[in-house]
Structure 1
Amino acid sequence: MSVVAFPSQPGPAADATTAAGIESAAGRFLDSITTATTRAGYTETLARLTAVTGPHHQVADLTPEHYAAVMDRWKTAAAATWNRHLSALRSFTTWAQRQDLLDTNPARRLQRRTPARRGDRSIPRTRLETLFNDPAHALRERLLWRLLYDTAARAEEILSLNVEDLDLEFRRARVVSKGGAIEYVHWATPTARLLPRLLAGRTTGPLFLADRRAPVSGPRAPASADIDPATGRGRLSYPRAEYLFKTASAQLDPHRQGWTLHQLRHSALQHLAHAGRTAPELRAKSRHQHLASLDRYVRPGEETSARVTAEAGPIQPRRPR
């Protein structure tokens, strides 16, 4: 009598082994992140980790050498960039340890870098207006920059906006703040004029869209909430938006390095402070929890120094008639 074996079914152990591969685990970790811009930034770091180790490398076998090879890509980058990618690796490590996929800490030999102290980080208003009104830049970028400056909001908050969050009548938008609270940010007339042009009749989906259609599968596939249902394009990511702003602003930056998106928030608050707005007013605009947090934004900078020097000179410059 012949015996025919039934096809074996994969048990829990096999499933766990498959899930412990870097590519699969990274996908699960990214799915657990609800903030779209954070997920987009971490995706870049974990894609590099997958490339270094191979997609099927076991999470349990990660070593400090693997993480060092990942971070080697950004060894010459600014301290903020280095720290951002290191934070992604550390977050993935913490998640993997909680999932019982990893017993060690492969990031233990890597250290955060101290950003170089900079004086005045605000961007002169005249140069900002040049950027905002230059038709050489795409409408999406000019609106994003103007909206960040008008609202003095964090870049993550604005990039996470959906069309449904906009209140065009009252010139405001509903954002999820850094602490998770629901708050409103407000914009002025120049932004109000540009918004309908960008929307072009759209009523749902991310406000700022990427240039290409989003992948529908794999570790780089975004969540359905981050895809425009009409075009299939994904949400514009923070790294891409930052790159475009730095590239565009490098021509106006005296150091030719370009400015960061966060400097738009800094500039807005400092310009309001120079215009005589009180600390409580600035706090309402920036939505900081503590007044002390505003000190780094409203500290007098280069423009104040130039004005004081000019006013103190023995010969006052002539005013144009």
Structure 2
Amino acid sequence: MSDAHSVDAAVEAYLASPQCANENTHRAYSSVLDRLAGWLGGHRPLTEVGEEELLSAITGLWGSAAAATWNRNRAAVAGWLAWCRARGQQAPELSVERRSGEREPTATLSRDAIERLILRPDVPLRERTLWRLLFETAARANDVLALNIETLDLRGRRAGALRWDAGSAHLLPRLIEGRSRGPVFLSERRPPPARRPSRSDLCPYTGRARLGYDRARILLDQHTRTPDGEPGWDLHQLRRAALMYRTA
């Protein structure tokens, strides 16, 4: 069991507080803080975590993310730490700044590059299906990650307003085989009891949680990062490419 003053215990207490009572807030903050606790070491006393180590963790986890993602995750961490300090716990200050939304223009991904990525034999089925859906539907990543199996019309190749093509139609049945309801895209492992999301975000067959945006972003970056360490693609690039090719 976590020590009362451990990083894990502080995260669990914050997620159970009124500040995180909203389901969407709880889901988003849980994803961010769970990853941070995993990086820092959840069993450690929170008092051992210094500002420099916290900065290193934040940068390592989200340093290559888009400004909006960086700012959103920074706010989640800052809110958690402020809550801890307000309750008399010794917690480090978060000394990183918000980022402006301006970024250097990013080249549009080519069709060939996207196809090569999706067809790579080392890419798992879950990731290939997600990326194929993002490219074929031109939908926002959050909308695709929010899909439930019971909303899919596999024969009609649609789910609500989202419509896909043959590539996704081939992959989706394989991904959801043996499941008839619950999230389409699942995390790798079951969440610990103290951090279980709402029932709507749990698979009733495996107990695994819905795949979150931050984890999906990291997976795409990992598979597209260059050998010399240059950041890989982000999820929005797939949507931007899809939108461009639709209007070409």
TM-score by length of 2: 0.74
Report the 3-state secondary structure (helix = DSSP H, G, I; strand = E; otherwise coil) of the residue aligned with 1:200: coil
- Structure 1 pair 221/132, CA: closer, same or farther in 2 (3 Å)? same
Aligned equivalent of 1:308: none
Give aligned-pair identity as a percent.
Answer: 37
Task: Give how far 1:198 is off.
Answer: 0.9
Task: Give how far 1:50 is off.
Answer: 9.8
Give runs of aligned pairs for residues 1-321 of structure 1, distance below 5 A: 23-28=12-17, 29-34=19-24, 38-44=28-34, 47=37, 54=45, 70-75=54-59, 77-78=63-64, 80=66, 82-89=70-77, 111-114=97-100, 117-174=103-160, 184-215=161-192, 217-218=193-194, 220-251=195-226, 256-273=230-247, 275=248
More strand per residue: 1
Bigger Rg, structure 1 or 2: 1
Contact 1:53/1:66 (8 A) holds in 2: no
Aligned equivalent of 2:7: none
Report the 3-state secondary structure (helix = DSSP H, G, I; strand = E; otherwise coil) of the residue aligned with 1:213: coil
Contact 2:55/2:95 (8 A) holds in 1: no
Contact 2:148/2:183 (8 A) holds in 1: yes
Cα distance between partner residues in 2 of 1:197 and 1:43: 32
Cα distance between partner residues in 1 of 2:58 and 2:238: 24
TM-score by length of 1: 0.59
Contact 1:52/1:66 (8 A) holds in 2: no
Cα distance between partner residues in 1 of 2:148 and 2:159: 9
Instruction: In structure 2, list runs of 5 or more residues that go unmatched.
Output: 1-9
What is the aligned-residue RMSD (CA, Å)? 3.6
Task: Give how far 1:214 is off.
Answer: 2.8
Cα distance between partner residues in 1 of 2:43 and 2:177: 42
Contact 1:155/1:261 (8 A) holds in 2: yes
Task: Give how far 1:146 is off.
Answer: 0.3
Cα distance between partner residues in 1 of 2:96 and 2:29: 22
Instruction: In structure 1, list runs of 5 or more residues that go unmatched.
Output: 1-20, 58-64, 175-183, 276-321
**Alignment deviations for residues 259-294 of structure 1 (CA, whole Å, 9 cap, x no partner):** 011111111112223x2xxxxxxxxxxxxxxxxxxx
